[in-house]
């Protein structure tokens, strides 16, 4: 294969597409990237259309990206973090307001789909969508099938505030759904009508810590706030930490101190060459108290030592080195100072 060794700017001239005399019409650039004459214009068009849509329709664009991914995937979490950075609000699922997928509900607002909840299967989502809207909690239990909209589904909805449009607290629905279902089913067998059913109301709610942890369990993230609120005693006040939003201003190889929540392990890799061949390393997405995020690489030796303590949702303090890839600043772990509940 031929290689492009160098490129020199000569100004603007009438010219032709670059052609290479090779059977498969492909060639390698000097950096090793394989390119193709016939694809270059098409890719340019796609890039232009994508940039235009993101600029002029950011909410719709990000919503489409979210719907392209598995709602519980690492990529989805990256897109959700990007929405936050862009000022796009993600509102929680609701049994009366949500669809199956994410959908725009305002200029800078996206509603979470019912299918984004862990443990809520396709049959349950289909039933809820077909029966919407529910006029009361009694109506909800009267018309839903308990074998399909079961314990896991109802408790998942409760954890993320899915019954708030029916004016029910999360703790109430999580704790009392079974007796509500039984009472409604018994009345249904006797009268086959909803008129005589009146379920009690309990106003007790989870505390802030319980609420945020519950959201994370079912959605993989918090919506009502940051997990930093849960771990206020772990993080130092007035500490000399660098906000993640500022790493774009750091120099390559700068050492900075961070205090963050581990959002998720993005991906684990196996090294394929060099002295660490066969060893594994990983990339994590971390979030600071301001809601800013960054990618953190934990290289082979540190990953072998710390992977058991680097768990999603836990807070950590670390010294990291600033790096750059594809013009995007990122971090790599230098010194892990502490992780909640672990002796380093």
pLDDT digits (tens, 9 = 90+) for 131-145: 999 999 999 999 999
- Do 122 and 190 sit in the same domain of this protein? yes
- Do 94 and 136 sit in the same domain of this protein? yes
Bridge partner residues of 232 (DSSP): none
Collapse the DSSP code of 169 into the 3-class scheme (helix H, G, I; strand E, B; otherwise coil) and give the result.
coil
Residue range of the domain that includes 289: 244-339
Bridge partner residues of 35 (DSSP): 27
No. of helices (H) and no. of strands (E), the chain: 9, 11
| pLDDT tens sequence across 304-325 | 999 999 998 899 999 999 998 8
- Do 106 and 184 sit in the same domain of this protein? yes
- Do 96 and 168 sit in the same domain of this protein? yes
- Do 111 and 38 sit in the same domain of this protein? no
pLDDT > 90: percent of the chain: 53
- Do 25 and 94 sit in the same domain of this protein? no
CA neighbor of 311 nearest in space, from 269, 289, 282? 282
Collapse the DSSP code of 9 into the 3-class scheme (helix H, G, I; strand E, B; otherwise coil) and give the result.
coil
Domain assignment present for residue 306? The answer is: yes
Domain assignment present for residue 118? The answer is: yes
- Do 118 and 185 sit in the same domain of this protein? yes
Q: What does residue 16 show for φ and ψ, rounded to 5 degrees?
A: -130, 165
Domain assignment present for residue 29? The answer is: yes
| pLDDT tens sequence across 155-210 | 999 999 999 999 999 999 999 999 999 999 988 888 777 777 889 888 899 998 89
Q: Is the pLDDT of residue 102 over 90?
A: yes
Distance CA 95, CA 162 (A): 6
**Average pLDDT of the chain, as a whole number:** 86
Cis preceding-peptide flag for 265 (omega within 30 of 0): no
Collapse the DSSP code of 279 into the 3-class scheme (helix H, G, I; strand E, B; otherwise coil) and give the result.
coil
- Do 207 and 249 sit in the same domain of this protein? no
pTM of the shown model: 0.71
How many domains does the chain contain in total? 3
- Do 104 and 205 sit in the same domain of this protein? yes
CA neighbor of 114 nearest in space, from 137, 78, 148, 75? 148
pLDDT confidence of 8, banded at 50, 70, 90? confident
Q: What does residue 295 show for φ and ψ, rounded to 5 degrees?
A: -90, 130
Domain assignment present for residue 111? The answer is: yes
């Amino acid at each position: 294969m031929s290689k492009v060794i160098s490129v020199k700017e000569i100004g603007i001239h009438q010219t032709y597409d670059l052609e290479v005399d090779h059977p498969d019409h492909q060639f390698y650039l000097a950096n090793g990237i394989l390119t193709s004459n016939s694809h270059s214009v098409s890719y340019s068009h796609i890039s232009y259309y994508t940039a235009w849509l993101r600029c002029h329709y950011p909410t719709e664009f990000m919503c489409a990206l979210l719907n392209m991914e598995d709602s519980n995937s690492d990529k989805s979490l990256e897109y959700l973090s990007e929405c936050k950075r862009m000022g796009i609000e993600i509102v929680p699922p609701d049994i009366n307001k949500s669809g199956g997928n994410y959908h725009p509900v305002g200029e800078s607002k996206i509603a979470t789909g019912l299918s984004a909840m862990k443990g809520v299967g396709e049959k349950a989502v289909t039933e809820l969508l077909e029966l919407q809207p529910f006029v009361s909690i009694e109506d909800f239990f009267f018309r839903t099938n308990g074998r399909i909209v079961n314990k896991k589904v109802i408790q998942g909805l409760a954890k993320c505030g899915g019954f708030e449009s029916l004016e029910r607290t999360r703790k109430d629905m999580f704790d009392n759904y079974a007796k509500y279902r039984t009472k409604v089913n018994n009345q249904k067998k006797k009268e086959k009508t909803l008129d005589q059913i009146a379920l009690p109301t309990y106003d007790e709610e989870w505390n802030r810590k319980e609420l945020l942890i519950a959201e994370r369990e079912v959605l993989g993230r918090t919506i009502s706030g940051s997990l930093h609120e849960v771990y206020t005693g772990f993080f130092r006040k007035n500490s000399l930490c660098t906000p993640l939003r500022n790493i774009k201003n750091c120099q390559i190889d700068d050492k900075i101190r961070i205090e963050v929540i581990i959002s998720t392990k993005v991906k684990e890799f196996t090294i394929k060459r060099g002295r660490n061949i066969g060893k594994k390393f990983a990339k994590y997405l971390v979030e600071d108290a301001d809601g800013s995020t960054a990618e953190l690489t934990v290289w082979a030796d540190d990953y072998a030592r710390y992977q058991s303590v680097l768990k999603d949702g836990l807070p950590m303090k670390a010294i990291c080195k600033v790096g750059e890839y594809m013009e995007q600043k990122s971090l790599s772990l230098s010194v892990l100072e502490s992780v909640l509940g672990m002796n380093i």
